Structure 1
Amino acid sequence: MEQILDIFRVETWQETFLVLLDMAIVFFVIYRILLLIKGTRAVQMLVGLVLVLVFFFLSQEDYLHLATTNWFIDMFIANFIVIIVIIFQSDIRRALAQVGRAPLFSGSGSFEETSVLEEVVKASVMLASRKLGALIAIEREADLSHYTEEGIKLDSFVSKDVLFTLFLPEHQNPLHDGAVIIQKGRISAAGCFLPLTINPRVEKTLGTRHRAAIGLSEDTDSAIVVVSEETGTISVAYDGELYRDLDANALRAILQKIYSARHFNARRQSLLERFRNKTAGDETEASK
């Protein structure tokens, strides 16, 4: 604590300027780190690490005096840097890549989500009616640029016709097997590879597309639309869950709720169940 107080003991205006500059750099770095991990699974892991540090200080002799617990956590903290690198290796790699290719002050502009989502809904219905497999990831807060690196960059306007064409298997189309990623209201890349889920609770009958959709939804806050090539059914993966057998209205309702300003914080009840409850309520009122 005394070392922190010594920072603010300045005598000249030059020292004051350097102190303020030093604080601004630290705050900016922390801000950029929080922006980087926002909406990803790294946030939950970071919260867990912070709780471990808090419990370490509480277990010291001056507070709870939990000697064994304090010793155990102290051994854990001794390798803290290595643990951070292992846990956040993908986020660190993505951060370094971003710094190398983009300005520090670049923002994530807004876009008209409603029109983009409507085009995704229309394209999904068209693909489902012809039993053409599709995988469409729509970015939210978490940056998906890392997943576009191995795909084919497009930077195209989002329309049902473009999305439908990208998943056509005819004419040796190299893009139809991978995922299409939508960023900032535009199709940024196609033919992208997504991480497969390793959750043992996922049904064994699900194919690679559905597993990839669930895997990305576990690592980021994006919503991923999946069209089954075998059954022609439409599904949405979000927050590690898969909502299946959706028609156009259900798909539209789920996507609008996910991308609404309310951020859909309540997660205990499934999105599909909420939509069906609302539909049932509307039918009840109409019958009256």
Structure 2
Amino acid sequence: IQAVVSQFLDAVGPREAQIIFLGAGFDTRFWTLSADADSRPGRYIELDQAEVVERKAALIAARPSLLAALPEGSRCVGPSGVASRCGYHLAAADVRQPAELEAALSAAGWEPAAPTLVLAECCLVYLPAPASAALLAWFASRSRCAAFLAYEQIRPDDAFGRTMLENLRRRGIPLLGLRDCPDLAAQVARCEAAGWGRAEAEDLLQLYGRAVTARERARLARLERLDEVEEWQLMLSHYCAALAVCEDPSSSLLARLRLLHPIGAEAAADTAEEGEASRGSGRRAPGARVCE
């Protein structure tokens, strides 16, 4: 997710960027971005259910370190949410209700004509299929330069998927939209049917193998030894990221926005090292496909 956010900010420029986080929960990405004044987006809007917004607003109000990112004298923090002149807004909205969604975004100053990245992290999958399709279509029809990034569960029909669904059901967390959007092809088709110009989807196991460098994988392996590697890989294969983009033909700001962005010098060096190591054995380097 952060890789796409970074690409988006680089492509459009932080000051022009608008980020909308649907079902933001207690995410702290805004404060991570605010640590560097040059990377803070011009507008950052978080939407969630009223009870979540009230709790998060209370947490922000009680922590000077969080308030510090919202200039004193230009912020309003209360039970109904947060508004600040620095561009951060936290508000309650039911994303299934277009009028309510539009009112919340308008109050937060969203400009549909300006570049927008919509984040939906484990959000659409909780909605009935018609509601998620309508939400995607709503943004596509109003935005002139936008991207939509969804992160959620997939593949409910194998043994692991059935167990995952049952465990969540027992906890009172039904995934209402999963059966209607069960795989990567369905993720892409849903976005395209909603009016997005192009879409792509990858499961997290694919992304990990193709986008994470050998050096970074080695570093992560040292942090915590995994005893159940196969189970971890199964879990990664049952989550996906889907990215959709739409913009006016006259614009090309988001033309290069991808789930797998072009790799940098360090990643290229790692991929080259993997290639050297695999030549003798005939094994293809795990990261080689990124370079194609």
Tell me, yes or no, whether TM beats 0.5.
no
TM range (shorter): under 0.3
Q: Which has the higher helix share?
A: 1
TM-score normalised by structure 1 residue count: 0.24
Q: Which has the higher strand share?
A: 2
In our comparison, the structure showing a higher alpha carbon Rg is 1
